[in-house]
Amino acid sequence: MAALVHLMVEAEVNFNKLFQKTKCDYDGYTCKNCGAKIITSSNTSATSCVYCGSTAIIMERITNEFTPSSIIPFKVSKEDAIELFLTVKRFHLLSPFGFFQKKNISEIEGIYIPFWLSDFRIQGKISGTGKKITSWWDGYIKHTTTDIYGFDKEGKFLFFDIPVDGSKYLDDALMNSIEPFDYKELVPFNESYLSGFLAEKYDLAKGEASKNAILRATKTIVRELETSLKYKKVNTVKKEIIPSTINLDYVLLPVWLFHIKYHGKVYYYVINGQTKKISGNPPVEKPKLFLLFLILMGFFFFITTALFGGIHLNLITGIVFIISLILSFLITRFVLKSYQGIRLVQDANSYLIGSIISNKTGSERLKKNTYSFDWFLNINYDIKED
């Protein structure tokens, strides 16, 4: 039980770190409708007057290099976003029954988040060692041969529209959690789309955004090259990435941000304003989590007992219990991580358009190991190295 509570606390702490805003400057502007003086962050390009409610677009913050090339307009209304939050089923499993209520929504904002979309042609090469493992049985004895090869593998890759969050206000993991957007619905930017919504300008420079996109692409390239090798195990020790940028666009993408207050704590949800994909950090009720653990424990104990029922059950009850305990804990941990965790997407798998991987592996066998294991006597012997 203590381990389950630790998992809950760890997940909540990690999520709340996503919302720790970076330090920024604040500026003032004058509302053109009522004349009130309003304070905004220096990165805000569209906001609402807190006195008269009118939309204020700060034109000097969306001109010249801060003018987006394109925008995806909001397709999800505020009412639809609220309804989605209240009814999404997968968040109700472990949360308190009173959490998903409209009265708990303290704030909801429709925000156009700045993004950089990168297109690349990249030549990649990896070097390392790979293992081919062959096994066969001779009675109680299992023989295993391991061939170790050195390899060089290269290929060419094409990526379109790798997104990088251009605002330092929200962590990349938060924005990753509601990818992907449908970039076919990008339209030329017009400030009229900002009416009724907040908007930010980028504070992540183009060069830094390009580097972040290449890091994501590198993860995918290494995975593609390693998969093509067909080894049982691969150990990449060197990689070479040579990118050439085709295009880098500055765009605005729609996001709904929820602030939920429940029992003195603030919880956050984000909704893709185009696709309705939702992500958040719902509270976890300890009794529900423990009940899930007990149900899994009983299920696995029953199944394991049924499998070993005819083999002196009284002698293996302890082993069955331990197996059930481990399986139940692992599955409960996986459910909790999936339920509450937001993880940084570190690859660009969804944005790989095409690849050409060389058929030449450049591999040579470095070593061959053969050993045998006697399952009856529980010993290894006949170890050979070539």
- Model confidence pLDDT, tens digit, residues 140-178: 777 788 888 888 899 999 999 999 988 877 767 778 888
What is the rounded distance in angstroms from the CA atom of residue 68 to the CA atom of residue 211? 20
- Percent over 70 (pLDDT), the chain: 68
- Across 63-76, average pLDDT: 83
The reply to whether 55 falls in a domain is yes
The pLDDT mean for the chain works out to: 75
Tell me which long-range contacts 54-57 makes (C-beta under 8 A, separation of at least 24).
55/194, 55/195, 55/196, 55/197, 56/29, 56/31, 56/32, 57/191, 57/194, 57/195, 57/199
The reply to whether 142 falls in a domain is yes
Which residues on neighbouring strands pair with residue 88, listed in sequence order?
none
The reply to whether 287 falls in a domain is no
The reply to whether 286 falls in a domain is no
- Report whether 274 contacts 75 (CB < 8 A): yes
What is the rounded distance in angstroms from the CA atom of residue 114 to the CA atom of residue 40? 17
pLDDT confidence band for 19 (50 / 70 / 90) = very low
99 with 197, same domain?
yes
- Report whether 286 contacts 9 (CB < 8 A): no
What is the rounded distance in angstroms from the CA atom of residue 248 to the CA atom of residue 116? 7
The reply to whether 82 falls in a domain is yes
What is the rounded distance in angstroms from the CA atom of residue 167 to the CA atom of residue 272? 16
213 with 76, same domain?
yes
Number of domains in the chain: 2
185 with 40, same domain?
yes
299 with 327, same domain?
yes
CB neighbours of 315 closer than 8 A, spacing ≥ 6? none
- Across 240-260, average pLDDT: 89
107 with 171, same domain?
yes
321 with 195, same domain?
no
Residue 133 CA, distance from chain mean position: 33
Q: Please give the pLDDT value at position 144.
A: 80
Dihedral of CA atoms 31, 37, 43, 45 in degrees, nearest 10, equals: 0
Task: List phi, psi (to 5°) of 335.
Answer: -60, -45
Residue 361 gets which letter from DSSP? -
Q: Please give the pLDDT value at position 11.
A: 38
30 with 157, same domain?
yes
The reply to whether 104 falls in a domain is yes
366 vs 238, which has greater pLDDT?
238
- Across 58-77, average pLDDT: 75
317 with 172, same domain?
no
In terms of Cα–Cα distance, which of 42, 123, 175 is closest to 358? 123
The reply to whether 181 falls in a domain is yes
83 vs 31, which has greater pLDDT?
83
328 with 346, same domain?
no
The reply to whether 105 falls in a domain is yes
Please determine, for residue 292, whether its predicted confidence score (pLDDT) is greater than 60.
yes
266 vs 53, which has greater pLDDT?
266
14 with 122, same domain?
yes
230 with 327, same domain?
no
CB neighbours of 94 closer than 8 A, spacing ≥ 6? 282, 284, 285, 288, 289, 292, 335, 336, 339
165 with 306, same domain?
no
CB neighbours of 268 closer than 8 A, spacing ≥ 6? 15, 18, 19, 257, 258, 259, 260, 280, 281
Please determine, for residue 35, whether its predicted confidence score (pLDDT) is greater than 80.
no
pLDDT confidence band for 344 (50 / 70 / 90) = low
What is the rounded distance in angstroms from the CA atom of residue 260 to the CA atom of residue 271? 13
Instruction: Look at the chain and count its residues.
Output: 386
Count the neighbouring beta carbons within 10 Å of the beta carbon of residue 368: 14
Cα-only R_g, the chain: 27
Look up the domain containing 102 and give its range: 2-281+341-385
Q: Please give the pLDDT value at position 378.
A: 59
138 vs 21, which has greater pLDDT?
138
- Report whether 374 contacts 381 (CB < 8 A): yes
